Every structure is written in C-alpha cells, then in structure tokens.
C-alpha cells in the first residue's frame, strides 16, 4: 500500500536571479496585490494557488507560492511530529473577529438569546443528538438521521452496530456535559473511560475498549478506498510520552495562555495525530474539542452540532489534517477549517432559532386560548407535523429534562382535552394524536 503525499511546489524551478528579485521586492508585491487574502479566511495550499491569477510581477505559480510562504510567520505549538519537529500555527486576521464574537455570544448574548428554560433544554437535547448522529455518520454509521433521532428520543435499544455507534456517541456527549466531570482534570483513566463509552459493543476485540493501542495493533490511517496510507501514528513509546503532554496541556498546566477555542482545536488535532486508541479516534478528537470548550464555560457549543457541517465537507476535513501534517507542519490549515465551520454553525443556529421562535410565537398566540404550557404547545405543534408518531411518559420526560410526574400531568391534560389518545403497547403506554387534531385546534 502506497503512502499518500500531497503535491508540493518545486522551488528549484525558480532561478537564483528570480529569487533575488522576489526577496528584494516581496513587500511591494505582497501589499500591492493583496496577497494576504490567501492566508486569511481562505488559507490556501499550493493546490489552490496554482489556479489563481498571477500578479504581473510574477512568472509562475511557484513564485506566487514562494511569496505567500515568506509572509506566513508561525508560532510553535507543543505538538511534535514523528521526527520531533514541532507543529506551528498562524493566527489569521479573520480569527480575531471570530474569537471576539464567540466570547460575546457564548458568555452573554448566546446564552441569553431569550430562551425560556424549556426551550434551552430542548435546544440542548437537539444539539447533543445532532452531534452524536453526525459525528458517527462521519465515520460511516449507515443509519439515517430520522431513524437515529427516533431511536434516541424514544430510548429504543440499538440493534445494529451502526445504531450502537450513534447511541454510544450520544452517551459520550452526555458524559462530557456532566458538571461533575467538567470540574475534574482530564486523566488518562478518564480519557480511556470516554473511549470505552464511544466504542462499547462496536469493536471486534472487546479488550480494545479499555486500553491504548500497541505497536502490535499496526494502526494506520487510510483513505476511504483503503488504497493509500494517509497517516502513520507515532510508535507506542512516543505515544505514552506525548499523551501525557497532551493531558497536561488540556488541564492548563503549560503555564501559557491560549484562547480556549484555539486550544480546543489543537487538542482536536493532537488526538487525531497521536491516534491513541485502536479505533474511533476521530470521534474521540471531536468529543475532546467539545469537552474543553464546555470546561471553559463556552456552553453555547452544547447547542451547536459542528459535525453536521463537517459531514458535508468530508474531503476538506481530511485535507485540513493532511495539509497540516505535510506542509511543513503548518497546523493553521486545520485551525482555519474548524474556525470556518464554527462560524457557519453559529450563523445557521442563530438564523434557525430566530425563525423558529417567530413561527412558535405566531402558533402559540393561536393556541393561547387552550391554556397549555410551553411543552404541551410544542407537542401539539410536533404532532400536527408528525401525525403518525407518538410519545410516552419516558420520552416526554427525557426530551424536556423534567420529572416523570410532570411528564404524566402534561400528557394526561392533553388526553383530557381530547387532543391525544393512549394505547398500551408492551410495557409502555403510548400517546398518539387524534386523527382530527388539526380540526380540533
């Protein structure tokens, strides 16, 4: 099996005379042609640069790439490659605005976006569910989102391996959202426990759930077609050493300040690069990304399923890793990719919540005469769109994070008003919308 290598420019094609010219005129060429645009929100690699229009002063795409690289000044990180060379990172200009907006939105605006308690819990539940499903589908869990949501919301037992992957991911998201867990440092034991939650009943060899990988496991990262090696993780002895450094960094024992978002991205990449477990390391990396941000009180990320957007750009996601590793350890590619997806995720969420609240406000005003609470109103709206579905005390309780007695009262009141009918099915009493619900409303 061949090792995959990205295309790199050949600077030997540039003559010494031209290099002298470029070095002498680099500031003028860079500023005159606004070449910073290739190192900002669009952080281009060579494969994109070769398709850009050349400034009049330049003769080839190699020269354009040469100038761009001269102005990329990186800062070293703690992450080292297999040859002990550090990964570096550059903070593009657009990132300052994004970090500022994240701080404002997550510390103030976002958390107080005019949610009531029921809405907050609903959005939180939806966010965790969506992230669990998309993160698993990213690794080819072959279950539709509709079926997966139905399984989670109705607490149906997972049957197939793909369903178990999704359910495990959901439990892992709940695990890292737990306040007691967030108060603790991340230890090797807790990292392995998290991995065991993610992999339960999905690995061919059960003992792999509770241990780090060994050299004898021969773990490599391949492309989707299993024809090329994309990445070879470090040897077992290096893994143990680097993993301890990662844990110290995650627990803020490095005595340096890094913005929490950037640090979460670095942890995401670091877990992937080390690949400490036999399988599902990509999901572990994304979970650790969430864990660190939640630990730093960026609670808004609980509502944002970033993996939903990553799932739509699998090739970009893979390339962000590969460019970072193969272009002189420039981790900025990965940082820019995650930052752009985060920016898009928050924009989508704010637009979604505004539309949803407006729609609900209009419908709630029409339902006001029924004198129902928010949960009951939302259930009525749900059944109007999904007349063949059902709920029960457990589903209602888990979805809204309420007591079982409160769930019973909600549903029984709707039953009394003839909006629902109930049928005993196995050990559950399920509530269905009446056939003429829309006429009654």
Q: What is the pLDDT of residues 279-330, one digit of tens each?
A: 889 999 999 999 999 999 887 787 788 888 898 898 999 999 999 999 999 9
User: Pick from 150, 133, 153: which is nearest to 142 by CA?
Assistant: 133
Structure tokens at 44: 């281009």
Q: Is residue 355 part of a domain?
A: no
Cα separation, 34 vs 376, in Å, equals: 56
Q: Domain check: are 228 and 82 in the same one?
A: yes
Q: Domain check: are 391 and 307 in the same one?
A: no
- Note the pLDDT of residue 112: 47
Which residue among 350, 381, 401 closes a domain? 350
Average of pLDDT values for 248-267? Answer: 94
Residue 50 lies in domain: 2-72
Q: Domain check: are 249 and 333 in the same one?
A: yes
Q: Domain check: are 62 and 100 in the same one?
A: no
Could you tell me the pLDDT band of residue 3, with boundaries at 50, 70 and 90?
Answer: confident
Average the pLDDT over each of 19-33, 76-90, 132-146, 170-184 and give the range with the smallest value. Answer: 132-146
Q: Over the stretch 335-365, which tens digit does the pLDDT of each residue have?
A: 999 999 999 888 888 787 777 777 767 766 7
Query: pTM for the complete prediction?
Result: 0.81
Average the pLDDT over each of 106-115, 196-205, 248-257, 338-347 and give the range with the smallest value. Answer: 106-115
Q: Domain check: are 417 and 331 in the same one?
A: no
H-run or E-run covering 243: helix 236-250
Average the pLDDT over each of 61-70, 128-137, 204-213 and give the range with the smallest value. Answer: 128-137
- Note the pLDDT of residue 140: 58
The DSSP string of 89-154 is E---HHHHHHHHHHHHIIIIITTTSS--HHHHHHHHHHHHHHHHHHHHHTTT----HHHHHHHHHT
Q: Domain check: are 176 and 287 in the same one?
A: yes
Q: Domain check: are 312 and 393 in the same one?
A: no
Q: Is residue 318 part of a domain?
A: yes
Helix (H, G, I), strand (E, B) or coil at 432: strand
Q: Is residue 366 part of a domain?
A: no
- Note the pLDDT of residue 250: 97
Which residue among 72, 90, 106 closes a domain? 72
Q: Domain check: are 299 and 424 in the same one?
A: no
Which residue would you say has higher pLDDT here, 305 or 144? Answer: 305
Q: Domain check: are 45 and 82 in the same one?
A: no
Q: Is residue 360 part of a domain?
A: no
- Note the pLDDT of residue 17: 95
Which residue among 29, 47, 72 closes a domain? 72
Cβ-proximal residues to 437 (8 Å cutoff; 6+ apart), any chain? 380, 383, 384, 387, 419
- Note the pLDDT of residue 161: 82
Q: In the chain, what is the straight-line distance between the N-terminal and C-terminal CA atoms, in Å?
A: 64
Average of pLDDT values for 124-150? Answer: 75
Q: Is residue 361 part of a domain?
A: no
Could you tell me the pLDDT band of residue 111, with boundaries at 50, 70 and 90?
Answer: very low
Q: Is residue 356 part of a domain?
A: no
Q: Domain check: are 172 and 41 in the same one?
A: no
Q: Domain check: are 230 and 290 in the same one?
A: yes
Domain count across the chain: 3
The CATH number covering residue 150 comes to: 1.10.3290.10
Q: Domain check: are 429 and 401 in the same one?
A: yes
When the pLDDT of each residue in the chain is averaged and rounded to a whole number, the result is: 87
- Note the pLDDT of residue 378: 85
Report yes or no: 229 and 1 within 8 Å, Cβ to Cβ: yes
Q: Is residue 357 part of a domain?
A: no
């Amino acid at each position: 099996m061949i090792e995959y290598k990205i295309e790199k420019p050949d600077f030997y094609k540039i003559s010494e005379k031209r290099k002298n010219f470029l070095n002498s005129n680099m500031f003028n060429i860079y500023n005159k042609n606004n070449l910073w645009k290739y190192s900002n929100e669009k952080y281009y690699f060579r494969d994109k640069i070769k398709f850009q229009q050349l400034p009049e002063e330049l003769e080839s795409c190699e020269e354009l790439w040469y100038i761009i690289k001269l102005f990329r000044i990186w800062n070293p990180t703690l992450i080292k490659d297999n040859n002990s060379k550090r990964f570096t990172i550059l903070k593009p200009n657009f990132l300052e605005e994004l970090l500022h907006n994240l701080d404002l939105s997550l510390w103030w605006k976002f958390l107080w976006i005019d949610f009531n308690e029921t809405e907050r819990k609903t959005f939180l539940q939806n966010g965790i569910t969506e992230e669990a499903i998309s993160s698993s589908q990213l690794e080819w869990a072959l279950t539709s989102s509709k079926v997966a949501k139905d399984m989670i919301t109705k607490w149906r037992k997972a049957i197939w391996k793909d369903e178990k992957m999704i359910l495990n991911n959901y439990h892992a998201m709940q695990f890292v959202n737990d306040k007691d867990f967030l108060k603790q440092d991340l230890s090797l034991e807790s990292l392995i426990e998290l991995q065991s939650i993610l992999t339960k009943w999905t690995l061919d060899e059960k003992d792999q759930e509770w241990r780090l990988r060994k050299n004898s496991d021969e773990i490599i990262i391949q492309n989707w077609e299993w024809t090329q090696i994309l990445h070879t993780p470090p040897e077992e002895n290096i893994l143990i050493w680097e993993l301890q450094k990662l844990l110290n960094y995650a627990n803020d024992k490095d005595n340096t300040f890094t913005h929490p978002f950037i640090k979460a991205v670095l942890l995401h990449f670091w877990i992937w690069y080390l690949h400490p477990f036999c399988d599902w390391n990509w999901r572990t990396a994304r979970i650790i990304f969430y864990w660190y941000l939640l630990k730093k009180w960026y609670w808004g990320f609980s509502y944002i399923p970033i993996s939903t957007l990553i799932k739509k750009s699998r090739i970009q996601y893979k390339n962000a890793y590969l460019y970072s590793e193969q272009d002189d350890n420039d981790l900025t590619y990965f940082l820019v990719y995650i930052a752009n997806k985060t920016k898009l995720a928050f924009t989508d969420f704010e637009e979604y919540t505004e539309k949803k609240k407006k729609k609900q406000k209009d419908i709630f005003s029409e339902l006001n005469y029924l004198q129902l609470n928010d949960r009951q109103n939302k259930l009525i709206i749900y059944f109007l769109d999904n007349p063949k579905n059902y709920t029960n005390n457990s589903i209602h309780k888990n979805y809204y994070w309420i007591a079982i007695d409160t769930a019973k009262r909600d549903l029984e009141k709707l039953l009394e008003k003839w909006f629902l009918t109930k049928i005993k099915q196995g050990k559950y009493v399920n509530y269905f919308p009446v056939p003429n619900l829309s006429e009654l409303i």
